[in-house]
């Protein structure tokens, strides 16, 4: 049995598998280079021809970044089989809300980047400021943070396995990432993500099988887990007061990610939804992208974390904050023979490189479109803008490297980014659902929200004069309480600003309403425009159907987890729940987002793109 820090020398077969993986990525970059196109829309949006399922696979692989093997398997060894509730809370409800209430609206606007939205929805100086701020914030703050977290996660694997320094790790992977991203653009990112997702799932399933064979079967693993870590670790349902993943933490992650989700396709968390939505072939496909993302992402995370239960049995000493993120590397060293170890390392590389490549491509897109072309160099050739996009891609990667070298803990990056982004999230829904919400209120939320969170985190609540009352003192979960307080304070701040400042000009609101056809409180604008009122109850219907989609996917993952532990009756109940909730979700989704009619397509073709009216410097692709 390997010691805690024992390294493993790769065999010639392992190096051959890794060589094939890297060679495949380089070959893919060459083959897809021509398909990337020689214009901005082709390079950054793949010509808007992608199906929802392919974008869903790509976004699922991208979401694996900092939460990939070291972070999630590290969480598993300090929690147990109920680790799945961590990603249920982080992604499940949020992605389904975005699918049913926002994806179609974003795609219908026919934007090139999501920050363009702010000059469609708002007017004047606040609109341009928001567009530039969101682009800069995403490209220079959020994306480098998540890129760095991904590179750090990769080092957490290579360190116990190969005794590589972080500089050696970076020297191996950076040249490959740079080549295939810069060569093939977004179509290369999406296509490589699909194949990398298959590698991750296949490698993880192999490890699951090997672990079960080692223990003698699912029930034997369940018994060994109880004997080593107790019944709590073998349960798929979280205990109420667990220090790391109790009900408070689950509620905090669910609310902190679901509230406001979908209303901004370029949030502080660094998600690339905007690029995925806008590259889909139509509105329905963009909504299906989120559903596919949820399914594929949950399968990825379940197959990745379930084998980590074996680490709880073999190495109880690894269940500490300092050592937990080494658990996955130790599992690979113990269980995988030559060849399969190289495949598993390829899977780790795939999960993180998919995120890094997406970050580079998306960040470069918004910097070129919403800052460089919009405000700095307004008239230049397409070739010039493509060149600048490649320069910006490399710059984002350099910033990510700096983060990876400076940071030490992947999960802490996640929690800090959650707090920084969550403070303003309530405004994301308001900008779609309330006509009175204006550019000044948007600035108040976007600039004031993160400042409020940082002030609360660093200065207010550490001060003993501002200690939580006993009813609000959640001990180790006080970080989440600070997030809730910051969200509430930011909400009150932007509502006050909205009422104290004039609304957007009615002519601008009418133009936006005709193009976007949003839901919610838009009666004054609809009446002024002579257009039909927003569909009554559409928002409520979305919120009713979304939980059924979340339960559908979550129940499927619970069934898989229970099968892995030999809990056959529980697995059958979970599978039945998945089928029932899935049936309800299918019919609800089909009713809320039906296939587009010929009349819809003809009407859209007749509408003049709103983007050209508010962005006179837009350069149409040749």
Q: What is the pLDDT of residue 202?
A: 83
| 310 closest CA partner among 568, 75, 80, 5 | 80
Q: What are phi and psi of 222, to 5 degrees?
A: -60, -45
Q: What is the DSSP string of 141-152?
A: IIHHHHHHHHHH
Burial class (CB within 10 angstroms; exposed 0-12, middle 13-18, buried 19+) of 179: middle
pLDDT at 109 over 50: yes
pTM of the model: 0.82
3-class DSSP state for residue 541? helix
* Topology classification of domain 12-32+52-433+536-614: Sodium/glucose cotransporter (1.20.1730)
Q: Determine contact, residues 199/546, Cβ cutoff 8 Å.
A: no
Q: Determine contact, residues 308/91, Cβ cutoff 8 Å.
A: no
3-class DSSP state for residue 434? strand
Report the distance separating Cα 616 and Cα 603, nearest Å.
23
**Average of per-residue pLDDT across 105-132:** 91
| 93 closest CA partner among 610, 585, 600 | 585
Report the distance separating Cα 391 and Cα 395, nearest Å.
6
Q: Determine contact, residues 315/296, Cβ cutoff 8 Å.
A: no
pLDDT at 303 over 70: yes
3-class DSSP state for residue 230? coil
Which DSSP letter does residue 166 get?
A: H
* Backbone Cα Rg of the chain: 24
Report the distance separating Cα 329 and Cα 493, nearest Å.
46
Q: Determine contact, residues 207/336, Cβ cutoff 8 Å.
A: yes
Report the distance separating Cα 194 and Cα 601, nearest Å.
30
Mind listing the pLDDT tens digit for each residue in 124-179?
999 999 999 888 888 887 778 777 777 776 776 666 666 667 777 777 777 776 66
CA 490 to chain centre: 23
With cut-offs at 50, 70 and 90, classify the pLDDT of residue 465: low
With cut-offs at 50, 70 and 90, classify the pLDDT of residue 9: low
Q: Which residues are registered as beta bridge partners of 592?
A: none
For the chain, the structural domain boundaries read 12-32+52-433+536-614
3-class DSSP state for residue 521? strand
Q: What is the DSSP string of 361-389?
A: HHHHHHHIIIIIIIII--S--HHHHHHHH
CB burial readout 308-342, b (16+ within 10 A) else e? bbbbbbbbeebbeeebbbbbbbbbbbbbbeeebbb
Mind listing the pLDDT tens digit for each residue in 223-268?
999 998 888 888 989 887 777 787 877 887 788 788 888 887 655 4
């Amino acid at each position: 049995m390997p010691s805690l820090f024992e390294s493993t020398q790769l065999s010639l077969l392992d190096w051959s598998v890794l060589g094939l993986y890297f060679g495949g990525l380089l070959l893919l970059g060459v083959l897809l280079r021509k398909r990337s196109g020689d214009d901005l829309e082709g390079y950054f949006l793949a010509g808007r021809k992608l199906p929802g399922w392919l974008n869903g696979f790509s976004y699922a692989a991208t979401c694996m970044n900092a939460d990939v093997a070291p972070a999630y398997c590290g969480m598993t060894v300090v929690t147990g089989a109920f680790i799945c509730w961590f990603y249920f809370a982080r992604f499940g409800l949020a992605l389904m809300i975005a699918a049913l209430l926002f994806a179609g609206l974003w795609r219908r606007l026919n934007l090139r980047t999501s920050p363009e939205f702010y000059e469609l929805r708002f007017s004047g100086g606040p609109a341009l400021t928001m567009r530039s701020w969101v682009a800069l914030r995403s490209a220079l703050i959020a994306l480098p943070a998540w890129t760095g977290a991904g590179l750090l996660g990769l080092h957490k694997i290579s360190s116990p396995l190969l005794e590589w320094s972080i500089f050696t790790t970076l020297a191996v992977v950076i040249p490959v990432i740079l080549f295939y991203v810069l060569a093939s653009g977004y179509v290369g990112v999406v296509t490589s993500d699909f194949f990398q997702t298959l590698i991750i799932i296949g490698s993880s399933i192999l490890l699951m099988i090997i672990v079960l064979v080692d223990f003698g079967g699912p029930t034997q693993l369940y018994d060994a887990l109880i004997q080593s870590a107790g019944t709590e670790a073998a349960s798929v349902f979280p205990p109420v007061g667990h220090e790391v993943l109790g009900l408070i933490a689950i509620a905090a992650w669910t609310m902190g990610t679901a509230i406001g989700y979908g209303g901004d396709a370029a949030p502080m968390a660094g998600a690339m939804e905007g690029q995925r939505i806008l590259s889909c072939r139509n509105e329905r496909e963009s909504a299906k992208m989120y559903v596919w993302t949820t399914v594929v992402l949950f399968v990825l995370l379940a197959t990745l974390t379930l084998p980590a239960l074996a680490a709880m049995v073999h190495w109880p000493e690894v269940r500490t904050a300092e050592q937990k993120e080494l658990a996955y590397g130790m599992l690979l060293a113990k269980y995988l023979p030559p060849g399969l170890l190289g495949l598993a390392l390829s899977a780790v590389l795939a999960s993180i490189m998919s995120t890094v490549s997406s970050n580079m491509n998306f960040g470069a897109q918004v910097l070129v479109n919403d800052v460089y072309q919009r405000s700095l160099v307004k008239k230049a050739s397409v070739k010039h803008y493509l060149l600048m996009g490649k320069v910006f891609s490399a710059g984002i990667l350099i910033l990510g490297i700096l983060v990876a070298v400076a940071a030490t803990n992947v999960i802490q990056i996640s929690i800090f980014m959650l707090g920084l982004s969550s403070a303003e999230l309530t405004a994301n829904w308001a900008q779609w659902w309330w006509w009175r919400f204006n550019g000044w209120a948007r600035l108040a939320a976007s600039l004031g929200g993160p400042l409020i969170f940082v002030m609360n985190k660093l200065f207010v609540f550490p001060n003993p004069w501002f200690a939580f009352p006993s009813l609000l003192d959640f001990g180790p979960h006080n970080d989440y309480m600070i997030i809730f307080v910051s969200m509430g304070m930011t909400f009150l701040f932007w509502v006050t600003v909205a009422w104290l400042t004039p609304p957007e000009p009615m002519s601008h609101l009418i133009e936006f309403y005709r193009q976007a056809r949003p839901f919610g409180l838009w009666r004054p604008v609809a009446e002024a425009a002579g257009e039909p009122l927003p569909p009554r109850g559409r928002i409520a219907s979305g919120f009713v159907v979304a939980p059924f989609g979340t339960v559908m996917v979550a129940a499927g993952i619970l069934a898989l987890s229970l099968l892995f532990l030999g809990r056959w009756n529980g697995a059958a109940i979970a599978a039945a729940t998945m089928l029932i909730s899935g049936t309800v979700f299918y019919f609800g989704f089909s009713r809320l987002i039906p296939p587009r009619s010929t009349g819809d397509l003809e009407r859209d073709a007749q509408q003049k793109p709103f983007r050209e009216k508010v962005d006179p410097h837009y350069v149409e692709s040749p």
